[in-house]
Amino acid sequence: MLATAALVAACSAGPGDPEARPAATKAAARCDPGLDAALRGWEKAGFSGSVAISTRGEFVCLAGYGAADRARGVPVTPATVFSIGSVTKAFTAASIFALADAGKLSTDDRAGELLPGLKGPAAKVTVGQLLLHTSGLNGSHGADYRPLDRDSAVAAIGRLKPAFRPGTGYVYSNAGYTLLALIVDRVSGTGYRRYTASRTLRLPGGAVAGGFWNGEPAAPGPRAVGYLADGTTGQAGDFAGPHWALDGNGGLAMTARDLAAWTYALFSGRLVSPESTKAIGTPGHDLGDDMSETPGWVAYGKPIYGTPVLTSSGGGGDVGHNAVVAWLPERGQVIAIASNGPKVSAGELLRAVGPAMAAGEPLPPPGAPAGDTKPTGDAAIVGRYELDTGGSFDVTATDGRTTISARGADAVAALFPPRGDVPAGDLRDHERRVLALLGGTTREGRAERAGVEGALGPITGITLGGTTAVDGEPRTYVTVTSAKRSLTGWYSVNEEGGVQAAQIPAGPPALTLVPAGGGSYRPDDPAGTGPEVTLEFGRGRVTVSGPAGDTGARRPGG
């Protein structure tokens, strides 16, 4: 399908074309009608975002689906700008290799040698270990949208306690990539942001692939509004900074077209030397399941997609955007997807259709339960349903959609049973790590507890609220209580107890329901990544049926 997709003549220029301009000023290529029809099916199922696909530098699909701004009725187009979140790490890695090509550093250099003023264990790790997340640096050096200046970031990273001796393990580290950005800031002689914009983002022919979501130089072009799972809009890119909590690990923004063009330029050897291009694409740390970490990317072997693939992905935070890019070296293909809504994210869409794309086969349609699959606001089942074990379900109907949320560990376990990617045992281990964190048993835990107490007052109790998995990432819900009030939110921590993500306060985990025939309901889950449950309502009761059996709850007084 990809090989035969039609091109619009005005968009036949590849990323290396000297006539190339930023995507915001380019006309858009149409997708092959069959591919476009398949993607429109995913749009109807809830995907909102942009898709860019190229083969050996020639775009075969540039398209937008859904709304960039629902309130104003603005559609997504190929010129729409998205925050790319952790895909930023691929760009930071490229900056490091460009500086290595220039002889200004080596991947064997220790961070403390390149960054005077850096103290603590972080000073002893090498650039190569930072690139592969094997440095041992564990935990957060700052909250994304709290001002953090350069010196404070250096000091905070220097205080991080290592999870293991550098080079002997693996722990994903945002702080590690900010440390790489701090190294770029000093070694480049121009500063991190200026070097990124003038060197790393610049495509052959002079086009610049985006910019920053917050601060300058900003990504040019119209921006998509991000929509969070609770229906609110995300962070709009107006945070004044300083931005050293995000710089290097998650601050960039661009169109899907620019992301695809940059990826092709990188892996075709047009941004760094052939040696550096090879190093970026070579598996460096075995992650298991035929996956390996490379500098800024994850490499998948043939069993996953039928051909080797390198991917970089990011999002799921306060912005409400998600982005993913895949490089298929044997085919010279790039697939870049960005989204601004939670129902079908860019990552979920790639997981659902990526294998078919890689094989050149028709895309699978979105999944749907049997029966009338149109979401409805069913007032007859609205209300609270209480479990005998203490938890509860709350069913609401708003804007034609029926939603069920779970409060309490028992209710969460019933509504969100574990799936194969995150076994039940891993969820329980995650809960223990979150409780240990908030119990203040580690340096990071004491800092986190102090931050919560700064908002609440002295903590008098911590109640476990259950654990779900979102895109393979466990989220443990807790309610933290003080003498004055309580706050509920969630934490995601790594295996070493370091905070990967958190949101407090946050609403309870929830699902949108669709009728599944015969009076039953199932989650509105077109990508097939959500919980495998069925719900039956009747006589003031709800029964949630899942892999582990049935859980019943009744309305108070029922």
pLDDT for 26 beyond 60 = no
Q: Report DSSP state, residue 27.
A: P
Could you tell me the pLDDT band of residue 79, with boundaries at 50, 70 and 90? very high
Handedness of CA 254, 48, 340, 238 (dihedral sign): positive
More confident residue, 460 or 375: 460
Among 11-25, 231-245, 306-320, 514-528, name the one with the lowest average pLDDT.
11-25
- What's the CA gap between 244 and 212, in Å, rounded? 12
For residues 97 and 279, is the Cβ–Cβ distance under 8 A?
A: yes
DSSP labels, 522-551: EE--TTS-S---EEEEETTEEEEEETTEEE
CATH architecture of 1-87+211-366: 3-Layer(aba) Sandwich (3.40)
Alpha helices in 70-224 (DSSP H): 88-101, 111-114, 127-131, 150-158, 174-187, 192-195
pLDDT per residue over 65-75, tens digit each?
Answer: 999 999 999 99
- Determine the Cα–Cα distance for residues 362 and 154; give it in Å rounded to an integer: 49
pLDDT over 90 (residue 398): no
The arithmetic mean of pLDDT across residues 84-89, rounded, is 97
What pLDDT score does 558 carry?
66
Q: Which of 23-27, 448-452, 456-460 has the lowest mean pLDDT?
A: 23-27
Mean pLDDT (whole number) for 328-346: 95
DSSP string, 365-397: PPP--SS--S----GGG-EEEE-TTS-EEEEEE
Residue from 129, 209, 220 nearest 166 by CA: 129
Residue 377 is predicted with a pLDDT of 57
Domain spans of the chain, in order of start? 1-87+211-366, 379-554
Distance CA 520, CA 513 (A): 10
Token look-up 């900003």 returns 218
pLDDT score of 1 more than 80: no
Between CA 434 and CA 150 the distance in angstroms is: 29
pLDDT digits (tens, 9 = 90+) for 34-59: 999 999 999 999 999 999 999 999 99
Pick the closest to residue 300 from 274, 327, 277 (CA basis): 327
Please state the pTM of the whole predicted model.
Answer: 0.85
Residue 372 has pLDDT above 70, yes or no: no
Residue 520 tokens, joined: 């039953």
Residue with the bigger pLDDT between 432 and 376: it is 432
CA distance 497 to 139: 8
Q: How high does pLDDT run on average in the chain? A: 89
Asked if the model's pLDDT at residue 289 lies above 70, the reply is yes
pLDDT tens-place string over residues 418-456: 877 777 888 999 999 999 999 988 878 888 888 888 888
E strand spans, 56-152: 58-65, 67-69, 74-75, 82-83
Structure tokens at 150: 């350069």
Q: What pLDDT shows up at residue 374? A: 54
352 has a pLDDT exceeding 80: yes
Q: State the SS3 of 152-191.
A: HHHHHHHCCCECCCCCCCCCCCHHHHHHHHHHHHHHCCCC
Interacting residues of 154 by C-beta distance below 8 A, sequence separation 6+: 115, 117, 118, 182
pLDDT above 80: residue 218 = yes
Res. 369 pLDDT band, cuts 50 70 90: low
pLDDT band at 517 (very low <50, low <70, confident <90, very high): confident
- pLDDT score for 375: 52
Length of the chain, in residues: 558
